[in-house]
Amino acid sequence: QVQLVESGGGLVQAGDSLRLSCAASRRTFSTYTMGWFRQAPGKEREFVAAIIWSTGYAYYTDSVKGRFTISRDIAKNTVYLQMNNLKPEDTAVYYCAADPRGRSVISTTDFAYWGQGTQVTVSL
């Protein structure tokens, strides 16, 4: 099984940047898709960004395009989420997830493995 551990969350001001990391306990197979989701208080968990491991193809939800960048380090078996120009509406618990099928999916039900989450808080 795959164990995912997120890190890098914290408290920042609007306009600041953070980089989240997600480390896997074993090598991610080339068929995997790695994704980031977030859940704000009182709201459902939503898709943020994902990357297909084998090709590096990345895709995002509209609200973060131009501000967030997902990337991978193949040697470290780690995926990153660089978050720039953070806004208060970005405040949420951010989760790393993995889909072994390697599809271009965005639903929580498509991802078989999940991390524990890391808190991101953006103040005014």
CB 58 within 8 A of CB 70: yes
Pairing of strands 92-99, 33-39: antiparallel
- pLDDT more than 90, % of the chain: 88
- Specify the pLDDT at position 115: 97
Distance CA 63, CA 20 (A): 18
In order along the chain (124 residues), what is the average pLDDT of each group of 10 residues? 93 98 81 95 97 95 98 93 98 96 93 96 96
pLDDT for the residue 28: 65
pLDDT digits (tens, 9 = 90+) for 74-110: 989 999 999 999 999 999 999 999 999 988 999 999 9
Question: Which of 28, 33, 35, 42 shows the shortest CA–CA distance to 94?
Answer: 35
Residues 6 or more apart whose Cβ sits within 8 Å of residue 102:
30, 31, 32, 33, 52, 53, 54
What is the C-alpha separation between 77 and 64, in angstroms, rounded?
Answer: 24
Q: What is the distance between the alpha carbons of residues 26 and 41, in angstroms, rounded to a whole number?
A: 32
